[in-house]
Structure 1
Amino acid sequence: MSNNAPPTDGGPSSRPMRVFESHYSGLDTWSSPFNYRLLRAGHIAASADYRIERERAPGHEFIFCLDGAGHVRIGGAIHRVEPGQLAWIPVQRPHAHFADPVTPWEILWLRMDGANLNRLETALAVEADPIFAFTDAAPIQELMRDALRQISTHSMQAAAATERIAATLLEKLTESRRSHLLDPVEASHRGLARLVREVRSHYTEAWTVDRFAETCRVSKSHLFRLFKYGFGQTPHNWLRGYRLSQAKRLLVETDETVGAIALAVGYDDPLHFSRDFRKNVGVSPRQFRALER
């Protein structure tokens, strides 16, 4: 990154870079008991020549544009970032971000790490489309400012607050991407919403890939793409998750046997149900019932 002396015209492109805040975490991130770790956070007004280019760095970077504009480069593609938008950069891979030379951006940014961020990045197709837009960007801005306040204290309470900030931010990003991926004309016209309603109404029945595709009225390859980007998993994995969620409810709300519940949620073999349940929930159906009642 370089910063030249500003020209005398005083326009936006001539301003020097201003660093309002820049913080590293003062906690031992490796011993943190929490799922998400806030590694860095800052607030800057960039100069026209502001540019960061790296091969890799830890975690994931989130840049919220307050004013002006900027660009991010991921996987060879360059994406423009406007005010009120957020860029998600998976910085473990080669990347760059830089200010628009005419209207350099002012940004809030944070770098975060967590076990599930890579999976969510894939589910939300971040590499192909790293820019998130919002109907109301004010809550996103407040979350970013909250992260700045928390990281500057270097306290365990701040580390705990990061869980809330991360969870809320990721919920907002998922909500934004869901409307972008599942509600466009293509998805609604080809029946994804209809498919989900049909599966929920008939989840105990046998569902083959052919039946999924026919109900959705798309090709098999398009079906898998829609589920990958919309739900982060295959149609059958999504169906299994829905069946197990219904099984949890029945285990807690009824006295039916495990075998009867297995049949009620679409499993022909109670042993297969029990294996699936333990693998996905972490305990057996009987243990789950004892814990939740």
Structure 2
Amino acid sequence: MDFPGKTRKRASSIYCLKLKGYSGGYHATALKSVHFMNDWEKELSHTQYHKHNFYELAVVLRGAGTHLTDSQKLPLRPGSVFLLHPGESHAYEYSEPLTLMNFMFDSQILRPYRKSLSGLAGYPLLFCPAEERRELCVDSATLAELDILLHAMAMESRQRSAGAELLLISHLLNLLVLVLRKSCSYVERERFNSDIGIAVAFMRRNYQEEISLPKLARLANLSESSFFRKFREEMKTSPMQWLLNLRIRKAMEFLIRSDMNIGEIAAATGFSDSLYFSRQFRRQVGVSPKNYRSQAHGPRQIIHGLQTLEEIGDI
């Protein structure tokens, strides 16, 4: 095996990954992929070019890099969203570990719903020809919701219970509507009103502290009613629900990445006590914090550059 210093694309060796290798025969599934740095590449790691026989909606959860296709290069950062078409060749390069949420589905699933989906504002941005693809993003609250849906889809694929196919399709439609409603270009995101932006930035920095609606309204220099209305218009949810989603997402990260106990995680993410935290976590995620940690939110594909892609290329 050769390990090139830069990403190479050889027409005779582009691997085609197949949906059945991930989904167990279902028409949709989801997993997380973690691209670690290669030992032989000190500053920039690459994956081999590959393609799929299915649609893949990829969302960057952590890390940064570049997405490479035949027609363009797009930067990757947390919240980046892109849809890969069946047969489209692509690769990644990255200077730090890159974690992606991968939602994979057969093109036939969407046929009955195309008309309804196409009526959503984000449809032409996401379902566009590859050469017209733009840099799209979702906010951290939406990332948390997508992580919950990924967990649900991964569990359905793994457990293979009666009705799993129907639930997988339902979760897929749910996440597509969510992304189409809430995705925007980075240019458009920068146009968010500065008063709401101040409040959002404050919550991101201080989510572990006690935060109230009156305090956020004062920061934005607005009345509570005006702030609440403008926040809903910009963020498509209420201020306190946005904060709750952020806290749950941070808690999910602590559960996976730390050895902190449930009480410590509750305190570190702004919850008044562990019982209230556990109740809210179960309501949002569908499982208790303890079970979420033990399940590691579904299967993950650990990728070390070229090697793993070559190993799974014949699936």
Q: TM-score range by the shorter chain?
A: 0.3 to 0.5
Larger of the two Rg values belongs to structure:
1
